[in-house]
Amino acid sequence: MLIIRRVQPNDIFPVIALAFETLPERYNPSIFTQFYESCPEGFLVALTNETIIGFLIGIKTAPDTARILMLAVKDTYRKKGIGSSLLTHFIKEMKQQNVTRAELEVRTSNKRALRFYQSRGFLLQETLQRFYQNGENAYSMHKEL
């Protein structure tokens, strides 16, 4: 059974491990604690059998705007609706806080993620040159909620 909930303190280390396993960027582990402390309503985890299999980190960047910073799902659980569930819960939470726009960036080479977000109503805004640590470009995307 899939459970989506806000992150809890004892979730931080499993989330860091999952980020390291699934995301190409290498983040300082302390930022996960910072996101938990500064925007717990935007830090969601997906669990099955009490094991974290996915997470989403988003923050409010303005009273009416939120930005999705990270969305990751364990490889063996992809294509099972977990990313969609995390995104749906995040958008619902943000709407309750009067957020009317969600934004994010996605690697131009990550065609799967690009299709995922486009199929959920996100629109391409612009290409951001050398956005990532390795110099890769990103697409900026947004969705009106």
Residues 6+ apart with CB under 8 A from 15: 7, 32, 45, 52, 55
Give the separation between CA 125 and CA 116, rounded to whole angstroms.
Answer: 16
Does the pTM surpass 0.85? The reply is yes
Averaged pLDDT of the chain: 96
Q: Which domains can be identified in the chain, with CATH numbers?
A: 2-102 (3.40.630.30)
Q: In this structure, how many other beta carbons lie within 10 angstroms of the beta carbon of residue 15?
A: 22
Tell me: the pLDDT tens digits for 21-35?
999 888 899 999 999
The two tokens of residue 7 are 């992150």
Give the separation between CA 117 and CA 137, rounded to whole angstroms.
Answer: 17
Tell me: the pLDDT tens digits for 97-136?
999 999 999 999 999 999 999 999 999 999 999 999 889 9
Q: In this structure, how many other beta carbons lie within 10 angstroms of the beta carbon of residue 139?
A: 22
DSSP secondary structure letters along 83-100: HHHHHHHHHHHHHHTT--
